[in-house]
Amino acid sequence: MNPEERDAKEVVGLDPWGLKRIEKLLVELEGVGSLKIVADGHGGIDEIHVLSSSTLGPKQIVRNIESALLAEFGLQVDHRKISIARVRSPAISKSAGFDTEEPSGPATPEAVAVTPPAADGRLVLKGLHIERSAGQRMTCRVEIEDDGEVVTGEAEGPDFEKGRLEVAAAALLEALQQTSEDQVHLSLQGVSKIDSLGRSFVVAIVGAAEGRRGITLAGIAHITDSPEESAVLACLQATNRWLSIR
């Protein structure tokens, strides 16, 4: 049996979610020592725990993991599901499940389960508030953090499923607009809830214009807490990279 057939048998049989292939990829990344992946039971990842002794910062390790999963498997994992624990001892085994080599002395933890709030230069969601009023109307207020400063955006609209998604997305774009330069304009082109492979997602399409130059941005977020929060996260995913590299 060649290596490809052996890997395929392992993934389909003993490891239906392909976690061993993912672990094999991630432990080769700089900054990743031992790791443990917790599957959500639906073909996705619920948590990734990493033990690192690298001088590489936790934010960079998280970005490396996100990029590797997206490039190799087309898998998007929210950075909030990735936790980094750092130790001073360099003697960390590269085997999954936090199996470590015997160090010469006890390892002293510097931090435990450090989850970076956002990558450098990117915005992060800090709060989402929804108020319903008479006449099937709702108001959504979104708070994002921009370089230590909290910015608030607000929008109002109809209180039905698709309307709530649009209002939440519009509130996020209102907040983003405040963090952007005057010549940058963001507009919501569409937001929708979709179901695929037994899971629910929100997809958002955002138009971004700077002067005469325009671009269409897209983002997707798995629904974990509420569709409205996922609409905000989908828009944030769509716009964050473009805003950070402008």
- Across all residues in the chain, what is the average pLDDT? 76
Cα torsion at 17, 19, 20, 25 (round to 10°)? 130
* Cβ neighbour number for residue 76 with a 10 Å cutoff: 16
One domain for residues 148 and 106: no
What's the domain count of the chain? 2
Least confident of 27-36, 59-68, 104-113, 191-200: 104-113
For the cut 80, the answer to whether the pLDDT of residue 3 exceeds it is: no
For the cut 70, the answer to whether the pLDDT of residue 216 exceeds it is: yes
Burial of 44 (0-12, 13-18, 19+ CB in 10 A): middle
- pLDDT per position as a tens digit, 168-215: 999 999 998 888 766 788 899 999 999 988 889 999 999 988 777 888
Domain range for 100 is: 3-114
One domain for residues 103 and 128: no
Specify if 119 maps to a domain: no
- pLDDT per position as a tens digit, 54-79: 777 778 888 888 888 888 878 888 88
One domain for residues 150 and 64: no
Question: What pLDDT is recorded for position 28?
Answer: 86
Q: What is the DSSP letter of 79?
A: G
For the cut 80, the answer to whether the pLDDT of residue 116 exceeds it is: no
Question: What pLDDT is recorded for position 166?
Answer: 94
